[in-house]
Amino acid sequence: MFPCAQHRRSYRLIAVAALLAAAFCLLPARSRASEPPSAPAEFHAFSFVDVKHKAEELASRPFEDPEGQVPDFLLNISYDQWRKIRFHPSESLWRKEGLPFEVQFFHPGLFYNRLVAVNVVDGGRAEKLTFSPSVFEYGDEEFASKVAGTPLDFAGFRIHYNLNTGKYKDEVAVFLGASYFRAVARDGQYGLSARGLAVDTALQSGEEFPYFREFWIEKPREDSDSITVHALLDSPSLAGAYTFTIIPGKETSMDTECVLFLRKDVQKLGIAPLTSMFLYGETENGRPGDYRPEVHDSDGLLIRTNSGEWIWRPLANLGRLALIPFPQENPAGFGLMQRDWIFDHYQDLEARYEKRPSLWIEPRGNWGRGWVELVEIPSELEIHDNMVAYWVPGKGAEKGPDGQPAGDPGKYPRTMAFAYRMRWLNPKEPLHSLGRVAATRMAAGNQEGTVRFVLDFEGGELQDLPADAGLTSVVTLDDGARLLEKQLHKNGATGGWRLVLTVALDPEGKFKTLFPTAPSRPRIRLSALLKKGENLPDPLTETWTYDLHP
């Protein structure tokens, strides 16, 4: 709690204690002695159960739009003005107590047009933090005086911990804006973001953006290596209760639970949504007018199926909106990965894209039928987060990807619960021991209507296999494409293996006959993996996949 609020609370407690003592002294001695001691009031320790109750009660009432709580003079400032509003580090929560975690706060204004209540849970008791302008530096006395006379709350907060050194508490996680949050692993820096929930993403009806309206931060112990944050989510369609147990380290993990209470029917839910930026990568072989070979926070979607298959889909920014589903049942994991950690591939001394984290989602329990959905939004600027991935529960969906049934017919149930672990990883940290797709490159084929793919696989057993090891490639294509040629050979420069595919699209006019009434160009999926011998069941690599739209 901020010192000013702490002092006010102490004065109130002292005043109440003095009044009680005085009243007690005015009682006759015989009365005080003869009266039996009163039973202590029953203490109810705050927990995640209370957040769930709040969310359920909130969903039972109509949604109240919080727009207008932040005054216009704060919303109409420039980005430079907002950046001048700085939290005083000396006022960090728990700094004076020397606890392993500290919390600093963000001021509302500019993009952050909603006020967020923040509570601290100490010894099972939850108490709201009081907003005070005295904990911020404004850089402008007149502006500061206007803030002083305005009732406000915070816009969000960030958590600090000794992640990289014992001398300084690094920023390890931040919750700011709608339901966005992000974290960083050791020796890394911020990159992609996560969200509490996605609602109706990429639908013509328009996307709904839920927001965290209230937080409860549990005070850590002196020896804590984790910190727990609870959150209350709200939107026109639903309310939700969330809890995050954050464990910073070589990888920073967040054990997450959420319970959703629907106010009304929702067409599509996105569970554990991830949001990232991909402008261009090695597929495009650079961009005219830009000195940097690649620009991206993430370069691919990785999925692990419940059968143990690892699927890699490189990201693409192709100038059109694309929704790419991967039907699954009880997925073992998915994430947007940044697996290129070589500075020379970016050449950006300011952005340092090679240090951006990967984010991996590990479901807990059975999530049933549904699909991982990748949304690729065209963008010409690296300031836009244009890549989105999430899990779409099949239960309640009338139809799944490509019109196929994805789950039980009917509507989403009014109450839904999910649990998962979020792993914020250094780009160098592998998730499996198989060979990985290190690069995907494309070029026009020698014949009209053909595409050439150059795929580099590296890591795992591949590095130790000689050129005459007898490796084979397994390539599959949807109808509407035909494999003309494939070549597989040892890459002497990297120690990995290179697979070159030449694919013909719409051979012999089959495309038109397969999809005569398609309202838009359908997707043709290609996939490839490497094996040691045709008859051995286990692959040596993950499965590369890509989608073409002839």
For the segment 132-172, what is each residue's pLDDT rounded down to a tens digit?
A: 999 999 988 889 999 998 999 999 999 999 999 999 999 99
pLDDT at 550: 62
pLDDT at 224: 97
Question: Average pLDDT in the 32-37 region?
Answer: 43
**String of DSSP letters for 438-479:** EEEEEEE-SSTTEEEEEEEEESGGGGG--TTS-EEEEEEE-T
Residue 23 lies in a domain: no
Are 211 and 106 found together in one domain? yes
Question: Average pLDDT in the 229-236 region?
Answer: 98
For the cut 60, the answer to whether the pLDDT of residue 513 exceeds it is no
Are 189 and 133 found together in one domain? yes
Are 143 and 115 found together in one domain? yes
In this structure, what CATH number is given to the domain that contains residue 443?
Answer: 2.60.40.10
CA distance 486 to 502: 6
Q: Is residue 183 within 8 Å of 172, Cβ to Cβ?
A: yes
Q: Which residue has the higher pLDDT, 309 or 395?
A: 309
pLDDT at 334: 98
Residue 20 lies in a domain: no
Report residue 60's pLDDT band, with 50, 70 and 90 as the boundaries: very high
What the block records as the tokens of 479 is: 């109808």
CA distance 125 to 152: 23
pLDDT in tens, 444-465: 888 888 899 999 999 999 999 9
Residue 338 lies in a domain: yes
Chosen domain end from 398, 429, 460: 429
pLDDT at 447: 83
Are 497 and 536 found together in one domain? yes
Q: Is residue 162 within 8 Å of 225, Cβ to Cβ?
A: no
Residue 115 lies in a domain: yes
pLDDT in tens, 526-546: 999 999 876 667 899 999 999
CA distance 371 to 327: 4
Chosen domain end from 378, 396, 429: 429
In this structure, what CATH number is given to the domain that contains residue 362?
Answer: 2.70.98.10
pLDDT at 41: 60
Are 539 and 406 found together in one domain? no
Q: Which residue has the higher pLDDT, 171 or 397?
A: 171
CA distance 188 to 173: 12
Residue 247 lies in a domain: no
For the cut 60, the answer to whether the pLDDT of residue 89 exceeds it is yes
Are 424 and 454 found together in one domain? no
For the cut 50, the answer to whether the pLDDT of residue 35 exceeds it is no
Question: Lowest-confidence range among 260-264, 405-409, 496-500?
Answer: 405-409
Radius of gyration from C-alpha coordinates of the chain: 28
Are 424 and 446 found together in one domain? no
Contacts for 208 with CB less than 8 Å, ≥ 6 apart? 199, 200, 235, 236, 237
Residue 36 lies in a domain: no
Are 390 and 455 found together in one domain? no
Instruction: Give residue 544's identity as a one-letter amino acid code.
Output: W
Are 380 and 290 found together in one domain? yes
For the cut 50, the answer to whether the pLDDT of residue 183 exceeds it is yes
Give the range of the structural domain holding residue 499, as residue numbers without chain letter.
Answer: 436-548
CA distance 38 to 369: 56
**Number of domains into which the chain is organized:** 3
Are 382 and 337 found together in one domain? yes
Q: How much is the mean pLDDT over the chain?
A: 87
Q: Is residue 530 within 8 Å of 540, Cβ to Cβ?
A: yes
pLDDT at 83: 87
Are 420 and 475 found together in one domain? no
Can you give the three-state secondary structure of 174-204, one letter per residue?
EEECCCEEEECCCCCCCCCEEECEEECCCCC
Question: Average pLDDT in the 398-422 region?
Answer: 71
For the cut 80, the answer to whether the pLDDT of residue 484 exceeds it is yes
Chosen domain end from 429, 456, 483: 429
Residue 243 lies in a domain: no
Are 200 and 62 found together in one domain? yes
Q: Which residue has the higher pLDDT, 148 or 284?
A: 148
Q: Which residue has the higher pLDDT, 550 or 195?
A: 195
Residue 154 lies in a domain: yes
Q: Is residue 513 within 8 Å of 535, Cβ to Cβ?
A: no
Pick from 162, 194, 187, 181: nearest CA to 352: 187
